[in-house]
Amino acid sequence: MYQILPQIKTQISDLPSSQTTPSVIPEDHHFLNEAIFAGDNFWGLEAALGRADGVVKSATGYCGGSLRKPSYREVSEGGTGHTEAVKVIYDKRKISYKTLCDLFWETHDPTNRNYLNFGTGTHHRSAIFYRSEEERKQAQESKIKKQMKLNKRIVTKITSLESEFFLAENEHQKYYLQQKHWLCQSLGLRSTLHFTESNIACKLNGILAMEGTQTIAQLTKFLKEHELPKQTKSICEEIILELVRKDDDFENPCYFRSFSNKVGSKSRSSLISFRANRLYSKLEIPSFISSFTHDRVFSIGHVGTATNELETTTSAIPHRVIPTRRIY
């Protein structure tokens, strides 16, 4: 009477975007490889390696010990034999294992002799965990190349990966990105799996770990090159604006014009308003003149056409020579 229909095997890619892991960019698994490094604290190491071109994913965890699924507390107490480590998934077409090793030396001080106390005085160490003889040779070549540039002995160990890599707790994944709670929420990042499988999270975490000016430049470039959800893009622009407000180069006309042309109109308007108020404050102009000039200048509506209302307005003030600046 009733015919039993065959069961359909649904692939992850067939599901709506709301049911899949958020912010995951599909990749060709045939060209992907893994690499594991340990270099002092894993927060900074994950960020530095994660922002490298060719690195697809990253995860913090514990490596080198015998205890299965150790906690951060157990590892930090030094009794498990584990060290804080980072695993990266990289595209061999874009970056080589040797290049990753070269980058690794720049993420920490490989000559720090405190790493020699691993297992007794510290759970931090500097190590490269290789999976094959070819990786060992490349890591060794990279180490020799770096050693020739230093006058101190590198204490980094190049050792075979003989134990399992265990993921660290959720709060240790993408540490710098997780400081921006609204940004994580806009990307749908909640669980450990979300943070470790997201390419966008990998890149944003690396960018947010940089210094102010570098973060501004790289985050602006990232927004230009990637299609992001509207809310995510808006939050990123707010982060940029906040960093720009703290930047000493903010009043440089060339720097300001270059940056402001790369952000959205709403953010640009806020940026112009803030810059004008900051210049007025520097010139010690009375508040009523500041308000008048602000209204005249910003009624124009976009960067690059604002005239020097400041010069005309302040010329009527007696007994004071006030330097004038064009508002770009």
Of 65-74, 81-90, 181-190, 311-320, the poorest mean pLDDT is in 311-320
Residue 46 is encoded by which pair of tokens? 């994950």
Domains within the chain, CATH numbers bracketed: 24-168 (3.30.1060.10), 175-246 (no CATH), 249-314 (no CATH)
pLDDT at 237: 93
User: CA neighbours within 13 Å on the CB side: how many for 3?
Assistant: 2
pLDDT at 63: 92
Q: State the average pLDDT for the chain.
A: 77
How far apart are alpha carbons 202 and 46 in whole angstroms? 8
Residue 69: how many other CB atoms lie within 10 Å:
9
Higher pLDDT, 15 or 84: 84
Specify which residues 129 forms β-bridges with: 36, 159
pLDDT at 104 over 90: yes
pLDDT at 294 over 50: no
pLDDT in tens, 22-31: 444 445 678 9
pLDDT at 272 over 90: no
Rounded to the nearest 5 degrees, what angle is found at the Cα of 60, between the Cα atoms of 181 and 189?
Answer: 30
Which residues, other chains included, contact 291 with Cβ-Cβ below 8 Å and sequence gap of 6+?
none
